[in-house]
A and B are shown apart, each in its own frame.
Chain A
Amino acid sequence: MAMSDKDDIPGLEVFFDAARRHGAEPSAALMARIGEDAQAVQALAQRPAPQPTRRSTLSSQLYRLLGGWPAVAGLATAAVAGVWLGISLPEGLLLDEGESVYLVDVAPELAFDLAGGNF
Chain B
Amino acid sequence: MPLDTMSDESDEVLLVLFANGDALAARALTARLTPRVMGHAYRLLGNHAEAEDVTQEAMLRLWKVAPDWRQGEAKVTTWLYRVVANLCADLRRRARGVALDSIPEPEDGRATAAETLQDTARAEALQSALDHLPDRQRQAVVLRHIEGLANPEIAEIMEITTEAVESLTARGKRALTAALSGRQEELGYGDE
- Which residues of chain A have C-beta atoms less than 8 A from B122's C-beta? 14-15, 18-19
| A103 is an interface residue with CB less than 8 A from chain B | no
| B26 is an interface residue with CB less than 8 A from chain A | yes
6 contacts between A and B (CB under 8 A): A11-B189, A12-B176, A14-B192, A15-B123, A18-B123, A23-B43
| A2 is an interface residue with CB less than 8 A from chain B | yes
User: What interface size band does chain B fall in?
Assistant: 35 or more
Q: Interface on chain A toward B: helix, strand, loop, or mixed SS?
A: helix
- Which residues of chain A have C-beta atoms less than 8 A from B151's C-beta? 3
Q: Which B162-192 residues have C-beta < 8 A from chain A?
A: 166, 169-170, 173-174, 176-177, 180, 187-192
Q: Which B1-38 residues have C-beta < 8 A from chain A?
A: 18-19, 21, 23, 26-27, 29-31, 34-35, 38
- Which residues of chain B have C-beta atoms less than 8 A from A45's C-beta? 19, 21, 67
| B145 is an interface residue with CB less than 8 A from chain A | yes
Interface string of B142-175 (1 = CB under 8 A from A): 0011111111000000000000001001100110
Contacts A5-B166, A12-B173 known; A42 to B148 CB distance under 8 Å? Answer: no
- Which residues of chain B have C-beta atoms less than 8 A from A1's C-beta? 148
| A78 is an interface residue with CB less than 8 A from chain B | no
CB nearest neighbor in A for B33: A34
| B133 is an interface residue with CB less than 8 A from chain A | no
- Which residues of chain A have C-beta atoms less than 8 A from B139's C-beta? none
Contacts A14-B189, A24-B42 known; A3 to B26 CB distance under 8 Å? Answer: no
Contacts A11-B189, A26-B35 known; A19 to B170 CB distance under 8 Å? Answer: no
Bound: A27/B42 CA distance, A: 13
